[in-house]
Amino acid sequence: MQTLTPRKANTDSLIDQLDEIVASENQDLIQENANVDGQSPMGQMSKFGSEAAKHYAKTKLLSGDVVEAMNDNFIHPHDLDFLPTGTTTCAQIPLGAILKGGFNTGHGFMREPGDITSAMALSSIIFQSNQNMQHGGQSYPMFDYDLAPYVRKSYEKHRKKLLGYPVEWDEDTLEKTAWKEAERDVFQACEAFIHNCNSMHSRGGGQVPFVSINYGTDTSVEGRLLIKNLLLATKDGLGNGETPIFPIQIFKMKRGVNFEREDKNYDLYQLALETTAKRLFPNFSFIDSSVNVQHYDGTPESEVSYMGCRTRVMANRHGDDNSIQRGNLSFTSVNLVKTALVSSSVSEFFDSLGGTVDLVIKQLLERFEFQAKKQAQHFSFLYGQGVWKDSEDLKPTDSLREVLKQGTLSVGFIGLAECLVALTGKHHGESEASLELGYEIVQFMRERVDWASKQYDLNFSLIATPAEGLSGRFTRGDRDEFGLIPGVTEHDYYTNSFHVPVYYSIRAIDKIRIEGRFHELCNGGHISYIECDGDVTKNTKALDVLVKAMAENDFGYGSINHPVDRCEPCGYTGIINEECPKCGNRDQDQVERIRRITGYLVGDMKKWNTAKRAEEQERVKHGQ
């Protein structure tokens, strides 16, 4: 993208924002991302740079009609502050391949690990090194398969050591003893990995890496051992019993592997239910769903993998249909509510929406052109270590077009529920007619991005936006313009993507039935949540029913929310209302309340912006 003619900068507005950062007085500004401590020195420095970079991007790098649409509250390019750097959003990292050959962090070469302890330590380092190369998250798509060889290496080390003892071993006892020793290593390695994911700093110390892992289908002895101990270590929690926030964990469900009682990994699925009942992770993805099975060819590489927040990268016009060594390049969201509010009829709404989606496609193309002109040396780990597909042979000064064309460009959306209320008077949880219209709206956007994929020979996709700061920003802008409209602008946030409003009382099975219809349409990413009441650790059968219902209703990716509180003085973990049931502590500032903000968890809701706090307060439970 060529540099556009600069427009007059609103310098006073930028200075006002910087003043608010210094004073730490605007929660929505400094805590736009709950994974960043916006009040810390590094968090503030990051926010200074972020606001200045957004100012630069809007002034010099975006087309005038795009900036106008942003200012008019119709669209929002995500991570606009990173546009001038040319970074990409996320990557599904080929962990096994990087470990196999060893890698260079830029400060020295790491040779291939010789056991599971070293392998998982290096897995943490890879995450940390790659975090600084892009503005979003990163994931391991085949965590169990990729680490299984190093479980085997640990077993072989112990077997060899045992054979050196002056003992006459029979083969069965030798093997059992070696595996027992190896399992101890695996558990400690998993425990260390989880601790590392919650303590490593990146991006100038302002946040821990945003990381996800996908697993659950490796049926080998080694793979099963890894999955089992990863779940057990997650269930145990951190040093004082805290719930681990990272990695976001996704347990892959597959019929014939872990879905039914007779399946090899069914016991691990049951352990996953027990773990999510206590720790809110893992979430669950569904290989057999219509959106995912179309890419499945029976190999581990073709199993769907998600970024924990919901991002999904599978179809590829320039290579194999899988997520490995690929990621999202950027995404921009459409405010469906504003489009509905300025339309006098449903037909006018679709006309307006078509123009808005086309403008977003244009903006994504311009951003792609800017990214494509960057050089491999600007992202030494991402491309120098083969994280991205076909990057292994790039010279430092090579541009990135041929590599990046395998990523995705995503159109997102927010507020389908409020949009439907504005158009029909009811949202899709209240009315079958509204549900059908909602499906037509999302299908319309999907057809538009499919057309763009063919037109430009790039991987355009439709994502169900994981709105965090945006959920309140769009709402405030529309309320200022249109006033308080019941069911539309009356809340402090817009409902995420295609979800039924969190405040609407609905049975779990009905919510699953309604939202399941949209997963296949949103091929760039999706997630649905069910809110449970009470202590679900005592009722994992209910969780099993919910997960199976998700599968039956064509979910691609889902999770189960429930209260997880921890009393800091005594360490009690469970549900804490007015006082801790164990020690009687009534100081609410000493109660850690773990809640899911989008696809990920945040333990301290003081880091949430006001819109997401309001949304969390209004969430209702979904009975069966």
User: Which tens digit of pLDDT belongs to each residue from 487-496?
Assistant: 999 999 999 9
Q: What is d(CA 170, CA 292) in angstroms, rounded to the nearest whole number?
A: 47
Sign of dihedral through CA atoms 444, 445, 447, 448? positive
| Residue of 51, 148, 70 lying closest to 360 (CA atoms) | 70
According to DSSP H, which parts of 307-431 are helical? 336-341, 346-372, 380-384, 401-404, 416-424
Please name each of the domains of the chain with its CATH number. 12-61 (no CATH), 64-89+328-526 (3.20.70.20), 91-307 (3.20.70.20), 564-623 (no CATH)
Q: What is d(CA 324, CA 301) in angstroms, rounded to the nearest whole number?
A: 7
Q: Half-sphere exposure of residue 35, counting CA atoms within 13 Å on the CB side?
A: 27
294 contacts: CB under 8 Å, gap ≥ 6 = none
Q: What is d(CA 195, CA 123) in angstroms, rounded to the nearest whole number?
A: 12
Element (H, E) at 283: strand 283-286
State the pLDDT at residue 266. Answer: 98
Cα distances from 152 to residues 155, 182, 191, 209, 230, in angstroms, run 5, 8, 18, 28, 16
Greater confidence (460 vs 36) lies with 460
SS3 152: helix
Q: What average pLDDT does the segment 367-372 reach?
A: 97
Greater confidence (260 vs 48) lies with 260
Report helix, strand and coil shares of the chain as percent, to nearest 5. 45, 15, 40
Beta strands 75-77 and 328-335 are antiparallel
Segment among 28-37, 213-222, 405-414, 585-594 with least mean pLDDT: 28-37
* Both tokens assigned to 78: 């995500």
Q: What is the DSSP letter of 603?
A: S
At position 198, the amino acid (one-letter code) is: N
User: Would you call 542 exposed, middle or buried from its count of C-beta atoms within 10 A (0-12, 13-18, 19+)?
Assistant: middle
The CA-based angle 197-198-204, given to 5 degrees, is: 85
Sign of dihedral through CA atoms 310, 94, 268, 602? negative
- Interval 200-226: pLDDT, tens: 876 655 667 889 999 999 999 999 999
At position 524, the amino acid (one-letter code) is: G
236 has pLDDT over 50: yes
Greater confidence (298 vs 36) lies with 298
10 has pLDDT over 70: no
Read off the pLDDT band of 11 (50, 70, 90).
low
Read off the pLDDT band of 21 (50, 70, 90).
low
At position 549, the amino acid (one-letter code) is: A
Q: What average pLDDT does the segment 356-383 reach?
A: 96
Place of tokens 């290496």: 153
Q: What is d(CA 340, CA 321) in angstroms, rounded to the nearest whole number?
A: 36
Q: What is d(CA 137, CA 150) in angstroms, rounded to the nearest whole number?
A: 25
Q: What is d(CA 598, CA 496) in angstroms, rounded to the nearest whole number?
A: 9
Residue 382's region, left for phi above 0, alpha for psi from -120 to 50, else beta, is alpha
Residue 395's region, left for phi above 0, alpha for psi from -120 to 50, else beta, is beta
- Interval 538-556: pLDDT, tens: 899 999 999 999 999 999 9
State the pLDDT at residue 79. Answer: 93
Element (H, E) at 574: strand 573-574
Q: Are the CB atoms for 109 and 102 separated by under 8 Å?
A: yes
If one counts every other C-beta atom within 10 angstroms of the C-beta of residue 509, the result is: 17
Greater confidence (588 vs 405) lies with 405
Q: What is d(CA 372, CA 369) in angstroms, rounded to the nearest whole number?
A: 5
Place of tokens 């959306």: 413
* Both tokens assigned to 179: 């595996």
Read off the pLDDT band of 29 (50, 70, 90).
low
Greater confidence (576 vs 616) lies with 576
157 has pLDDT over 70: yes
Read off the pLDDT band of 22 (50, 70, 90).
low
State the pLDDT at residue 3. Answer: 42
Read off the pLDDT band of 132 (50, 70, 90).
confident
Element (H, E) at 104: strand 103-104
Segment among 319-333, 509-523, 585-599 with least mean pLDDT: 585-599
User: Would you call 253 exposed, middle or buried from its count of C-beta atoms within 10 A (0-12, 13-18, 19+)?
Assistant: buried
Greater confidence (220 vs 128) lies with 220
State the pLDDT at residue 541. Answer: 96
State the pLDDT at residue 5. Answer: 40
Phi, psi of 104 (to 5 degrees): -120, 125
595 contacts: CB under 8 Å, gap ≥ 6 = 561, 564, 601, 602, 605, 616
- Interval 106-125: pLDDT, tens: 888 999 999 999 999 999 99
| Residue of 482, 480, 510, 514 lying closest to 497 (CA atoms) | 514
Read off the pLDDT band of 309 (50, 70, 90).
confident
Q: What is d(CA 610, CA 443) in angstroms, rounded to the nearest whole number?
A: 32
624 has pLDDT over 80: no
Q: What is d(CA 114, CA 578) in angstroms, rounded to the nearest whole number?
A: 51
List 92's β-bridge partners, or say none.
139
Q: Are the CB atoms for 270 and 227 separated by under 8 Å?
A: no
Q: What average pLDDT does the segment 85-99 reach?
A: 96
Q: Are the CB atoms for 256 and 266 separated by under 8 Å?
A: no
| Residue of 122, 295, 361 lying closest to 285 (CA atoms) | 295
